[in-house]
Amino acid sequence: MLKKSKQLGFTLIELLVVIAIIGVLASIILVSLNSARNKGNDAKTKTNLSNLRTAAAVYYDKNNSYGTVSDLCTAGMFADPEVAPLLADSSYTGTVTRSCHATATGFSVSASLQSVTGQFWCVDYLGYAQQNVAAQGAGDVTCN
């Protein structure tokens, strides 16, 4: 007579294999989400700097100057109530290093990107908006 074996559940090895597969899939998803989050933060930084360029144009139209010569993000045009909020820490997500430069006739602002280490997004009074490998140097009012 043949014996019938009754299997009523999963073996321990089957459960461990399923848990391991779920763990691997979860870690892949988390890595992808972190990359997407950094790219979203970079998009926010680029939008803020684009809006800053527009606010700077309005400031120049009102004052016929970008303000005093400055390498600080808190003087001249950068202290204006319409421009300053676009440079405030609260306008950015994560750690974003900003570099601001202005003379009476020009300005540039660069901000670090989070998705690409060591890269900066730069906007200036000539209308340039581009990715650079370094922040703008002192007194440099163009992105080139």
Which H/E stretch holds residue 35?
Answer: helix 12-63
Nearest CA among 98, 110, 117, 93 for reference residue 37: 93
Tell me the pLDDT tens digit for each residue of 36-62.
888 999 999 999 999 999 999 999 999
- Find tokens 């690409």 and name the residue: 116
Averaged pLDDT score across all residues of the chain: 89
Question: What pLDDT is recorded for position 35?
Answer: 85
Query: Domain coordinates of the chain in residue numbers?
Result: 13-132
Question: What pLDDT is recorded for position 5?
Answer: 65
Q: What value does the mean pLDDT take over residues 75-81?
A: 89
In DSSP terms, 96 is beta-bridged to: none
Question: What pLDDT is recorded for position 4?
Answer: 67
Q: Which two tokens stand for residue 15?
A: 């459960």
